[in-house]
Structure 1
């Protein structure tokens, strides 16, 4: 078993890959750590896969997988985690903006200080304000919701103990919130290390402003899923019960007022002619629907998404 697995998602990075592997090899040889590289080609349309194939015969153990199409960074990391065999798993981007020089210290923090996860913090960033300002906002919101004191949840440079990567499942665009997912799966010792950030050398960024909209929606999604996926009735059942009881209370009150008016000879409007009656009716129907939704969700919790949802076109595995 190697001491380190370095998982690298790749999407149209053919120019940077040779330089990145050379840089990693130089750092790892100096540190004396045994390691493997795990490349996941996320449906690149350039020559990235051909470059990975040529790099597989050079230096360290190289594993790689290639998707038929672009699934996104979360899918690439999820498959990379399943292939990683190291005691510590480090993730980094392939664009040379993450420095391999940080890897030995990240490894040490996990192995010697007992961290489950160590996240990089790019305090000084070489990105435009259109990326840094929204990023600060979402990091602040995530800190408030999660209680995890990290400055940069979305930093691609992270280190994990093997038990973490083998016990979490990420999908959609949830890679931004891996520390949150790890914490809610019981891995609460989460640390942070300030890391260097380099200007992009080749190509252009693969992410636009829409990622911040997606990030906010993903934060809501991951918060809901991790809190209620095992007991969805606690959420839907509670809302359904409140809605049904509210509707029932309004209906009983309307009937009481009608009977009271008839006894006292006070003119009272017909129940069905009052807007409040229709509000009560809607609340009753919605309450029943929410309760049934919670019941069906409870029955479906055993049908979780599988790790084989991604179609792999080609793979390199020296151990197979």
Structure 2
């Protein structure tokens, strides 16, 4: 199969028929074999009924419905599990992503060899202060931390090799960081394509200010897990050693001061309590590192590594 189009949706009953018809026109014109996987993230309108009706008219359309709203990351994760096409393309269901971009995105994966291609909505139609400024700051911070040169990490229009989506797990609010997840999994060829951004035709946006707070928390989590998930002691032990050593040196300073000036009581000096606190914190960090190592070494994925090629080994 040439392409799998994964479409997470929430209360988009009005846009679904137009979106599916548009996708069908594009893939038919390019002679692509395809499937459309629609994941209903607990819609409260008639979105699921629309999906079922569309399925009766076009057997390439497949659907999955959550019992309740779990979020876009969960929808994408389930869509990735179901995808079978050599190239997997994700897009939002609100018609702000153009299906006309499908051939260009697929070409970058198939012919140019990219592992992942992210859309860049260079010209936007929702440039409000509450959305545009926080989004620019979020993208800047993610670029600095991840070292991935993308302008729009949160663009829903992306293309992947099938192997990429089968090698990552998307949860929480991690759909914003799929390029980062792919990089940590070992997929280094990540590209970008300027794509059309269209005005919302139906419904209202499903995201608010809280997505930026959650997004930065998830970025911190994914950075830590990606670097230290299999060796937590290297993180906690490093900081624990530094803090513990600082506390120990302060205690040595107090002892030497006591020898030089016997009339001063060590416990009457603020430095004593600072040193004591630092030594306690350093010890706790060490304990956290040991516990992390125990959890890591007993986890099911402790020795799970992605192998790109083999020779002479079955």
Aligned-partner Cα distance in 2 for 1:60–1:128: 38
Unpaired segments ≥5 residues, structure 1: 263-267, 307-320
> Equivalent residue for 1:248?
248
Aligned-partner Cα distance in 2 for 1:60–1:19: 16
Unpaired segments ≥5 residues, structure 2: 302-314
Report the secondary structure of 1:20's partner residue.
helix
Poorly superposed stretches of 4+, deviation over 3 Å: 302-306
How do residues 105-120 of structure 1 correspond to structure 2 at under 5 angstroms? 105-120=104-119
| Cα contact 1:25–1:60 (8 A) shared by 2 | no
How do residues 122-271 of structure 1 correspond to structure 2 at under 5 angstroms? 122-129=121-128, 130-262=130-262, 268-271=263-266
Aligned-partner Cα distance in 1 for 2:274–2:179: 43
Aligned-partner Cα distance in 2 for 1:300–1:69: 31
Report the secondary structure of 1:57's partner residue.
helix
Aligned-partner Cα distance in 1 for 2:50–2:297: 41
Q: Does 1:47 align with 2:46?
A: yes
What per-residue deviation string (whole Å, max 9, x for no partner) do you get for residues 47-105 of structure 1?
A: 11111111112224222211111111111111111111110100000001100000011
User: What TM-score does the superposition give when structure 2 sets the normalisation length?
Assistant: 0.92
> Equivalent residue for 2:78?
79
Q: Does 1:14 align with 2:26?
A: no
What per-residue deviation string (whole Å, max 9, x for no partner) do you get for residues 118-161 of structure 1?
A: 01111111113221222122112211222211111110000000
Cα 1:229–1:54 shift into 2, 3 Å: same
CA RMSD of aligned residues (A): 1.6
> How far did residue 298 of structure 1 move?
1.5
> How far did residue 261 of structure 1 move?
3.1
User: What TM-score does the superposition give when structure 1 sets the normalisation length?
Assistant: 0.90
> How far did residue 304 of structure 1 move?
6.2
> How far did residue 303 of structure 1 move?
6.7
Aligned-partner Cα distance in 2 for 1:288–1:145: 29
Q: Does 1:285 align with 2:261?
A: no
Q: Greater shift after overlay, 187-196 or 252-261?
A: 252-261
| Cα contact 1:37–1:60 (8 A) shared by 2 | no
> Equivalent residue for 2:267?
272
Report the secondary structure of 1:96's partner residue.
coil
Aligned-partner Cα distance in 2 for 1:172–1:156: 16
Q: Does 1:91 align with 2:86?
A: no
Q: Does 1:301 align with 2:292?
A: no
Aligned-partner Cα distance in 1 for 2:85–2:243: 51
Report the secondary structure of 1:301's partner residue.
helix
Higher RCO (CA 8 Å, separation ≥ 6 residues)? 1
> Equivalent residue for 1:318?
none
Aligned-partner Cα distance in 2 for 1:172–1:195: 26
What per-residue deviation string (whole Å, max 9, x for no partner) do you get for residues 190-236 of structure 1?
A: 11111111100101000112222222222222222211111111111
Cα 1:277–1:233 shift into 2, 3 Å: same
Report the secondary structure of 2:56's partner residue.
coil
Report the secondary structure of 1:110's partner residue.
helix
Aligned-partner Cα distance in 1 for 2:298–2:6: 28
> How far did residue 32 of structure 1 move?
0.2
Number of residue equivalences: 300
> How far did residue 187 of structure 1 move?
0.5
| Cα contact 1:244–1:286 (8 A) shared by 2 | yes
Report the secondary structure of 1:299's partner residue.
helix
